[in-house]
Amino acid sequence: MKRILVPTDFSEEAHHAYEVAVSIARKAGAGIKLLHVVEGVTSYSPSFSATGDVITPNNMQHVYVLQLMEAMKAQMNQFIESVDHEGVGIVQEVDADRPISKIRRTIKEDDVDLVVMGSKGSSGFEEFLIGSNTEKVVRTADCPVLTVKHRHPNFDVQEIVLASDFKREVRHAMERFKDFQALFGARLHLVYINTPGAFESSGNLYTKLDDTAKKYGLQNYSVNVYNDVIEEDGILHFATDIRADLIMMATHGRTGLAHLLSGSIAEDLVNHTTIPVLTFPLK
């Protein structure tokens, strides 16, 4: 892990994410990029007419945009210094764009290994209508995304829940999950949530989990079958029972109608749990 991206809106939750990112960067020897995206304004860039004359936008709008960007850069400088980041390289960027589009481009262009984001969470009608920017990043990012809600000044992960159906596609995420476990020297708890709608015998499930652990050469782990009504509740209850520091999940990253119809357990967890969640896209 070399590059960590921390999108920030300067909120309390974003500050929590920045603290966690610094802790991870110190352990991994990684650098951090802090990104603030100003939405709803257009960056000033002069164009030229066919005769070579400079065409500028409205002067007042130009002045407003420049002043706004300078104010955001000053706020970014204060934000950087709000966390002790000694020994961690920090770069910053302030841009005017659509936040999700800018974050996705930055992930690709900067070859980002991990995104760390704060999340307020959402529920009810608000969640149905818009969700959150963090949820959208979880759904569409091409790299792992760690979501944080509360303050963790010394982010120390000892107990990790890895929740999955442990089908073949999980192999795409397993090496990343192992790397994160190794980074902290944590214990990994594989868990399958057995629900009434998709019930399997415990014996078969334990065999599947044992086979998965052996196949991927897992170390320092436990295998668990947990019964609950729905998967999301089962994951949350199991994580609470073992006092987990982190939940890890793979997500299919569905968008549009497929997402509306099927939803996403990973995105629901990001919205509803207070435990940090690391998601990895299966694409």
What is the distance between the alpha carbons of residues 146 and 4, in angstroms, rounded to a whole number? 10
What's the CATH number for 3-140? 3.40.50.620
The more confident residue out of 67 and 169 is: 67
Q: pLDDT-based confidence at 109, cuts 50/70/90?
A: very high
Same fold, 3-140 and 152-281: yes
**Does this model's pTM top 0.75?**
yes
The more confident residue out of 57 and 32 is: 32
Q: pLDDT-based confidence at 283, cuts 50/70/90?
A: low
The predicted pLDDT at position 43 comes to 52
Average pLDDT over residues 92-110: 92
185: region left, alpha or beta (phi > 0 left; psi from -120 to 50 alpha): left
The predicted pLDDT at position 41 comes to 64
What is the distance between the alpha carbons of residues 223 and 208, in angstroms, rounded to a whole number? 10
Q: Please spell the DSSP secondary structure of 108-121, one letter per residue.
A: HHTT-SEEEEE---
- CATH superfamily for 152-281 is HUPs (3.40.50.620)
The predicted pLDDT at position 49 comes to 43
What is the distance between the alpha carbons of residues 277 and 4, in angstroms, rounded to a whole number? 16
Show the beta-strand stretches assigned E in the chain: 3-7, 31-38, 47-48, 54-55, 90-96, 114-118, 145-148, 159-163, 187-194, 221-227, 246-251, 277-281
Domain ranges of the chain: 3-140, 152-281
Average pLDDT over residues 31-56: 65
CB 22 within 8 A of CB 133: no
Rg from Cα positions in the chain: 21
pLDDT for 243-256, tens place per residue?
A: 999 999 987 654 44
The predicted pLDDT at position 74 comes to 93
Q: What percent of the chain has pLDDT over 70?
A: 82
